[in-house]
Amino acid sequence: MKDDPAADILNGARKYVVSGGSPELNWNNSHLVSGDIATELRALKEQSGPLLQVHGSATLLQTLFAHELVDELKLWTFPVTVGRGKRLFESGTTASEFKLKKCEPLPNGVIMTIYTRVQT
């Protein structure tokens, strides 16, 4: 098996798992965030270290939007229709203003966009 530099980076990174339960944290360097999620994440954001990222949790993002904890959105738009499913911007999502920082079409038709929060 060959070394995978991307896997090495992810395996070595500190990972925060947000949960209302008590999941088994088997992935190396994983830490549970529970209780008052907004307060806990606000405290994590104030610490020095790499950026905090959310991958694939529209439910957690709704909490982050509601507590104004999203500073930047990196969205990848794929040219496919998948029908029903979880929506990133659900009904009731807290209104926030973001400014386009970057937009890049990729050769496969995917569009990568980066938005930063407009500070009010």
Going along the chain from its start, the domains and CATH numbers come out as 54-117 (3.40.430.10)
Phi-psi region of 56 (alpha: psi -120 to 50; beta: other; left: phi over 0): left
pLDDT in tens, 56-82: 787 888 888 889 898 999 998 888 887
> Cα–Cα distance between 6 and 24 in angstroms, integer?
24
Place of tokens 């360097």: 29
DSSP class of residue 93 equals: P
Ranges under pLDDT 50 in the chain: 1
pLDDT reported for residue 72: 92
> Cα–Cα distance between 15 and 109 in angstroms, integer?
31
pLDDT reported for residue 1: 44
What are the tokens at 90? 């659900």
What are the tokens at 92? 């009731």
pLDDT reported for residue 39: 94
